[in-house]
Structure 1
């Protein structure tokens, strides 16, 4: 549709546009309310005056005279208020006759001013208010344009500054917007966006990409449509929601079932739960199709808790109540069976079997009942504790077309208790609930945030919703989407309100996430910025040599913190190869202490303990023994930090294959099939494999960086690691043995740590040449590297200190100075 054609439809809406500009609809609503109040009060007073005229004298007699005198005024006020109400009603009706045009997407076309408008009222309003030479100005200064900018998190001053500085404007003659149906607000506004390159660049500079802006426009357009549908109470859709009188009289009553169940259509929680779940549309349609079958129309919904099973059922119940479902499902009742109440009431096997048979018999006789079991596996298990077989009782009833069952099960219980039971699987069809995609999650959040906005008087920007969706998936491993995203949204709203804020931004979301998880998620502060930009220098304060490892780690940390890294993998993954005592494990500890501000964020596994056939089950858990798994529990409890895998080459092949997935996807599944997220971890695997070859290269005077391929080829040929596993790491680092000058630096660092430990007890330590030289003499061992120094500190220096503390020669407040004589005497 060209702009000239689009503009030709505007006169059809001109009367309504004129009314909207002359009259405030907020004032009309207030006037309508006041007229109704005045009319009601007038009627009450007129009736009261008539009633007291028949009452005996006394107090009534005192009021009778004044009311009789004022009666004409009451009658006049009644007529006046009715007149005002009718004027308002007719004005609103006149406006609505234009306002609702296009609501049915062209199915109900109305002729106006000799033409059939192909645009909505909102588009007509935008075009009529836009100068022909500046369509973007007309859009941005309109109420809808300002709302779009506010949803985008762009301030009024910012977009007005853009308007004043731009160089080019859209040529209306070149504007052409395609639309198969009535051209709505979102399609028109997005057409302007596509045509105006400066405007799109301006939005991009504000971190609003094309898909974001499209979603914002669709969000606003959807709310406009919903408001119109709500206001048009006389439409078939609205009137269809009013239940018919006696609609269920043709079906039997269910007095016994009603004791143990709740009706979805009459319970507010379930009725509201089904609203706004277009993300589950495929499952809803599949559920409806299965239930519409002639026989064995029963379903098991399989999904994690919070995946939206009850919302799907609630949506179907709403469709049935509104008469918008398939004919075979019309007049059906969807009820939630309270299995816990039923089992506790029965108490024993005989009562359980008898009462369950009565409930099912009653439902079959009624002929229009769909029974929902929120936890079928739990119900079967509870029946077994009483000695009853629930499925054996239910099987004959379920096979009939007069009763239908919807069961809900989480994946672990489904695989353990239900899938292996052929009797159950023959009667049910299975619907697997897949994870909700990002756009669908944001769509759910758009609907959910409207309720929070009304509740707290705040305003959510679209970037805030995007941050909620991303953060819920990235930083909260437990739970499923969109449930955990909705939970996060519900927490953010009151938090922002409590600080006096009115607009929820992406920064508000990230600060909330950071406070809840301890994971840096917000904007990089000055101190953190300085630390990240100089991370190599900071790490080298405690790591001697090993430049390649330090550079790789620093780069990985900067990528992760800036958000440019691959979010579907761990923050970083490295394999450290080298001899014992060259700083592989120490580097991981320094990283945890420096970047994560706490050495406790390091989770360490000695992989030599996982070399047997049962190692994989010990790590991820076993369904047979119900052992949760060391690695699974470790990551669930501490999802952020450093995962150190010592002696990685000694673990079993099955465990190495597990880490192929972990390094590539950042997730693995535990014994119950639940996903464990390791995308907020730095994974460092250490190995002594190839140490002999590294020593040979160093003795030959070779360069490890140029000889790395030779070392890795040797590991692959000796079947230590598969090439695909080595390729999964972000970096494989060769740690070389320390030279003499580096060993001296290591000695100083070890003594400095000892000094810090002594200072906590109030004892000072002078680090002098004799002390360092003793460590160099006693603690240098080419085979064990710096570990020999740690043993020398323990056996020589700490032994002397311990003797002096116990003897009383060394007390708090004193400073210890050791000489060569002290080491010679050992005291």
Structure 2
């Protein structure tokens, strides 16, 4: 059967993109046309042609809707079933009507919406069911409508439609068939049709691209950059220039065809299949003399494991890349370029690299301003200027594992999509009301035809009421769109960033200022007796968050010094909760487990070839998954010197390379090192130690003087244990003084408050008498261990007694039960109110 040509512009033949089942369906339509002695293939013929093909996705979907396809065919042929010959030689050249050509173009657009490289029977069926003709309108009464089919298709194909059908490539293509057109998309044609997003900036890089393409030999640029920096957009910018004619004469009238790697690999079962396809592409590009190939993620066709391996595909490409009639633009990441091109010097010499750096915040803001109208039209919302600036600032500050401008664009797009969905959900009842109205009209017409006027009149009244409701809701919807309810503002951007990163809203943007101003007070509330430590930590965090500190290093880094049980770990926990919302963001590393030289692999992962290579490191994996964390290295003096070298890189450069060669970003972390070095000196100090705490209250001047003196003394002692380069990279060395018994009493109150928080669901509030508080301090606090045993003492003396009470008494659930724990005859007892 000969194939006609239905185009979408320059050399874009739709029929070449038909899947195998779509071609069979079109062949069936041609046979039906002959049987009915029609002059051309109509949409109805195509519809029946699809139904005749039981294997097509469209037919299987209709069957899943419990619709008998035989009934559909009988309806089309006046209640009779006809026999259609399936001999392809009996069909003449396709004569496709204008209506059918419109359907196929519509099907092509639908396939593009799904990002499919083929046009399948399901796409054609969707296009047919959207036709406004009596034939297809009547199908609604059988249960086959566009919406019903679309819903059934989504349910039937729970995985991407692209895996259900592949584009069918004729085994013996005609002379006018183009493998390049079949496997690729002409970007210049899309630019002429206005279907590419606008490209802003990157003038120097586009000019560099033009210069390399204009060379006589080795005219093959390869764009190297991290994912999201705009490699594909750079080529689209060149396509726009060619479409506008703003290029040198040698590049005018050129096509840039973006190859689909998945289509090249599809169906390549035998060794050499991929090479054969690439040879065909190379031959066609050379013979056409007006085509530039663009291969995004080009490493996928030269990386190990592709068909016969990189040497086979590379051997096909290398001779062509030296010819002046063959031009190819590649795009890859820095890591893949290093692995697959720099290792092959022959391939590397044939490509001229263009290094694409991450866009600046200023450039990203200009890009967002350019695409703002496109997003507004697509989502039917308005976007404020403040939202644009917030998207750039917050994505740059908090989304550290991606790159500008991609992450800022995605952030803005998701915020707009969320706003649109919220509005649609609010007014989603309008479509339901319209559906009810249509059903009423159909029922009313049925009663009129039967002569049942009373019932018809009753439905008429209901119809009028529904129309009033629809008008009212549509008016509300219109007014809502005119108001600022559909405007994307800073809060919408913050909500998306919070969802992406898990950081609470009150620590983002302008709200962060309020949180930071209260940080010292909040730390001092929950960390008892360490006012100087809380002040030092809060000051460093404020410097970091206001942009004063170096942005290429972690937010802040501290070395906590002090005896055991004085609140070093507790301050780390409270700081984590204040900044990131919960203590889950605290990563604790016990450095007593890092005493051996090979312990470095525990932190960053084993190198290739060693056991556990695929598992990653305990430090790098946690930070990679949660880039916003507080990292606590406990008892740093016990770690092996090689482990400390890892810390040097984190503190100086803000990143670390793991065992698999991946760069892990530590710029959004807070590093805390703890040590017991100098603990004895602090204990013996007359002001900061236990000796001083037994004496009368000292003045703030005495304490500050003693603090500075002790800090200088401990710094000298630290240099004997820790390397000077490590100490110099730490933002602040924080000394924790010994706690007093008065401090211990406050800690008991905090522990009781924490207990009450856990008992909220039980409707119980616990109070303790002064006797109990004094007892808990006496038994749970010591000069040697500080406040560390207090929690266990509260568990043994208070929580155990309370547990027995709850189990032995009936606790009222509808009111708050106040429980007082007292010390009676040397034992804990419960007094109820």
Same fold (TM over 0.5): yes
Secondary structure of 1:817's match?
strand
User: 1 CA distance for matches of 2:634 and 2:790?
Assistant: 20
Query: Is residue 2:298 matched to residue 1:314?
Result: no
- Give the direction of change, closer, same or farther, for the CA distance of 1:561–1:292 in structure 2 (3 Å limit): closer
2:495–2:505 Cα contact (<8 Å) kept = no
Determine which of 708, 713, 717 is the counterpart of 1:710: 713
Secondary structure of 1:707's match?
helix
User: 2 CA distance for matches of 1:653 and 1:435?
Assistant: 35
User: 1 CA distance for matches of 2:377 and 2:393?
Assistant: 24
Secondary structure of 1:358's match?
helix
Query: Is residue 2:533 matched to residue 1:549?
Result: yes
Q: Deviations over 1:208-238 (max 9, x none)?
A: xxxxxxxxxxxxxxxxxxxxxxxxxxxxxxx
Q: CA RMSD in A?
A: 3.8
Residue number in structure 2 paired with 1:435:
358
Secondary structure of 1:706's match?
helix
1:507–1:523 Cα contact (<8 Å) kept = no
Query: Is residue 2:524 matched to residue 1:520?
Result: no
- Please give the residue correspondences for 1:358-757 in structure 2 after superposition, counting only pairs within 5 Å: 358-381=280-303, 384=306, 389-453=312-376, 462-493=385-416, 498=423, 500-501=483-484, 509-510=493-494, 513=497, 517=501, 518-520=504-506, 524=510, 533-558=517-542, 567-621=551-605, 624=608, 625-664=613-652, 666-669=654-657, 676-697=664-685, 698=689, 703-716=706-719, 718-720=720-722, 722-754=723-755, 756-757=757-758
Q: Deviations over 1:350-390 (max 9, x none)?
A: 43333332332333333443222212222234753566832
Q: Deviations over 1:177-229 (max 9, x none)?
A: xxxxxxxxxxxxxxxxxxxxxxxxxxxxxxxxxxxxxxxxxxxxxxxxxxxxx
Residue number in structure 2 paired with 1:817:
821
- Give the direction of change, closer, same or farther, for the CA distance of 1:253–1:333 in structure 2 (3 Å limit): farther
Q: CA deviation at 1:462?
A: 4.9
**TM-score, length-normalised on structure 1?**
0.60
- Give the direction of change, closer, same or farther, for the CA distance of 1:396–1:594 in structure 2 (3 Å limit): closer
User: 1 CA distance for matches of 2:522 and 2:182?
Assistant: 68
User: 2 CA distance for matches of 1:617 and 1:313?
Assistant: 41
Residue number in structure 1 paired with 2:270:
348
Q: CA deviation at 1:580?
A: 1.4
User: 1 CA distance for matches of 2:325 and 2:418?
Assistant: 50
Secondary structure of 2:747's match?
helix
1:264–1:271 Cα contact (<8 Å) kept = no
User: 1 CA distance for matches of 2:418 and 2:810?
Assistant: 54
Which deviates the most, 451-460 or 411-420?
A: 451-460
User: 2 CA distance for matches of 1:455 and 1:353?
Assistant: 41
Secondary structure of 2:733's match?
strand
For structure 1, the 5+ residue unaligned runs are 1-251
Secondary structure of 1:541's match?
helix
2:273–2:307 Cα contact (<8 Å) kept = no
User: 2 CA distance for matches of 1:824 and 1:513?
Assistant: 50
Q: Deviations over 1:613-648 (max 9, x none)?
A: 455554445672244443343234334453333333
1:271–1:314 Cα contact (<8 Å) kept = no
Residue number in structure 2 paired with 1:12:
none
2:623–2:629 Cα contact (<8 Å) kept = no
2:756–2:766 Cα contact (<8 Å) kept = yes
**TM-score, length-normalised on structure 2?**
0.60
Q: CA deviation at 1:309?
A: 1.0
Determine which of 226, 230, 255 is the counterpart of 1:304: 226
Q: CA deviation at 1:514?
A: 5.0
Residue number in structure 2 paired with 1:339:
261
Residue number in structure 2 paired with 1:205:
none
Residue number in structure 2 paired with 1:220:
none
- Give the direction of change, closer, same or farther, for the CA distance of 1:494–1:824 in structure 2 (3 Å limit): closer
User: 1 CA distance for matches of 2:615 and 2:676?
Assistant: 31
Q: CA deviation at 1:545?
A: 0.7
1:254–1:362 Cα contact (<8 Å) kept = no
- Give the direction of change, closer, same or farther, for the CA distance of 1:460–1:567 in structure 2 (3 Å limit): farther
User: 2 CA distance for matches of 1:578 and 1:339?
Assistant: 60
Residue number in structure 2 paired with 1:783:
784
User: 2 CA distance for matches of 1:331 and 1:738?
Assistant: 81
User: 1 CA distance for matches of 2:193 and 2:733?
Assistant: 54
User: 2 CA distance for matches of 1:455 and 1:802?
Assistant: 59
Q: CA deviation at 1:511?
A: 6.0
Q: CA deviation at 1:349?
A: 0.9
Q: CA deviation at 1:285?
A: 2.4
User: 1 CA distance for matches of 2:587 and 2:505?
Assistant: 16
Secondary structure of 2:721's match?
coil
For structure 2, the 5+ residue unaligned runs are 1-174, 424-479, 693-704
1:370–1:406 Cα contact (<8 Å) kept = yes
Secondary structure of 1:373's match?
strand
Q: Deviations over 1:592-630 (max 9, x none)?
A: 334544333433333444454455554445672244443
